[in-house]
Amino acid sequence: MIFLDNNATTKILPEVIEAMLLDLDGIPRNPSSVTFLGREAKQKIIEARRFIANYFGLLPDEVYFTSGGTESNYMLIQGFQKRKQGPIISTQIEHASALEALRPFKPLYLKVCEKGSPDPKELEDLLNRVTPSFVMLSGANTETGVLLPLDEIASLCNAHSTPLVIDGVGLLGKVSCKNLPKGVSAISFSGHKFHGPKGIGLAIIRKEFKIPPLFKGGHQERGMRAGTENLPAILGITKALSLIDETAFLKMETLRNYFETLLLKEIPTIEINGQNPRLPNTSNIYFKGISAETLLIKLDSLKLIASLGSACSSGTLEPSHVLLNMGYPKERALSSLRFSLSRFTTKEEIEQSVKLIKNCYCLLTHL
């Protein structure tokens, strides 16, 4: 099997599983208990939170554990809207978890052209005219891989004293997320996107921003998220974070570029969706004249795993909302596939993938 769908999920690393086993040994530890077992579990969470905070250059009290990116996005969107009433600024190319959470508030949407990310100039003009409750944007679009000009956007929001909430799920493990820009007020992450476990995420909220919890109950997570902490997953996401190898970012980009160059040589009509700088591992490719879904099924039968786009949108026959809102026609959206590498993808896998894609493409176009 060749797995080129790493923006949907990644393989969990053996070291991560080993870390999780420290609390999957059958001993009933409850971090809320005052017993020695509870204190032991609580200490592990304290250490994990401290490590994560140090990684991002933050305070431990700014780190919250959640069940994943979707919950983190909901928590941040709902919380920041309740904190200060007003319009929200976003785009229509956000992940489904953000779009659905935003929809009831009728956001002001920034335009996104074929470059694949909003124009900071348009945001600046809008900030000069309205006082939003916050701005919500993806650090990277997980379908096209196009990166948000984060430093520039953060600087703009900071200058206008406007909170900036970032969906960072697509960033971690692909670009450096250490020392977040000052203008980033809050950001979400998900463990299974960078070789950690599923069912665990992070919501990072700067200490100067106080928001209400998404739901209430127990005192866990300093009252921000009720419910017994998922200690094995917390240990797992912390270990996965410690294993991120930033030297591999360039390797991914080199392999991604090699993949696109080889594929363009074999199928000269392909085009890349998204013109701005991208994640180093992502290629969203337009295969003119064929159904991307049919191509995906054929590749899947040959054990080459790719994607039509976001995993949360799979199973639908609708064209990608991301590509449509970038201004691409429906035909192009229905003829595009996403290939996303990991730091463990090999050159041999890339070369084999290109052969398989070319063979399937020729079969579908009768070339």
To the query of whether residue 362 is one of the catalytic residues in this protein, the response is: no
Residue 367 pLDDT > 90, yes or no? no
The letter for the amino acid at 144 is: T
Q: What average pLDDT does the segment 211-219 reach?
A: 90
Model pLDDT, residue 316: 55
Q: Domain-by-domain residue ranges, the chain?
A: 2-9+246-365, 14-242
Choices 3.90.550.10, 3.40.47.10, 3.90.1150.10, 3.40.710.10: CATH for 2-9+246-365: 3.90.1150.10
Q: What average pLDDT does the segment 67-87 reach?
A: 95
Model pLDDT, residue 310: 59
**Average pLDDT over all residues of the chain:** 95
> pLDDT tens digits, residue range 178-208?
989 999 999 999 999 999 999 999 999 999 9
CB contact at 8 A, 135 and 88:
yes
Nearest Cα to Cα of residue 7 among 345, 340, 349:
340
Choices 3.40.50.300, 3.30.70.20, 3.20.20.100, 3.40.640.10: CATH for 14-242: 3.40.640.10
Q: Helix 248-266 crosses helix 347-365 at what angle (to 10 degrees)?
A: 30
**113, 157, 177, 312: which is the annotated catalytic residue?**
312
Q: What average pLDDT does the segment 145-151 reach?
A: 97
What number of other Cβ atoms are within 10 A of residue 163's Cβ? 24
Model pLDDT, residue 352: 98
Model pLDDT, residue 313: 53
Q: What average pLDDT does the segment 38-50 reach?
A: 96
> pLDDT tens digits, residue range 288-325?
999 999 999 999 999 999 999 755 555 556 899 999 99
Q: What average pLDDT does the segment 93-106 reach?
A: 96
Q: What average pLDDT does the segment 7-32 reach?
A: 95
Model pLDDT, residue 366: 78
> pLDDT tens digits, residue range 255-272?
999 999 999 999 999 999
Model pLDDT, residue 333: 96
Q: What average pLDDT does the segment 24-44 reach?
A: 93
> pLDDT tens digits, residue range 322-363?
999 999 999 999 999 999 999 999 999 999 999 999 999 999
CB contact at 8 A, 165 and 194:
no
Model pLDDT, residue 364: 93
Nearest Cα to Cα of residue 280 among 134, 155, 158, 171:
171
Model pLDDT, residue 40: 95
b/e code 282-292 from CB counts within 10 Å (16+ = b) = bbbbbbeebeb
Residue 170 pLDDT > 80, yes or no? yes
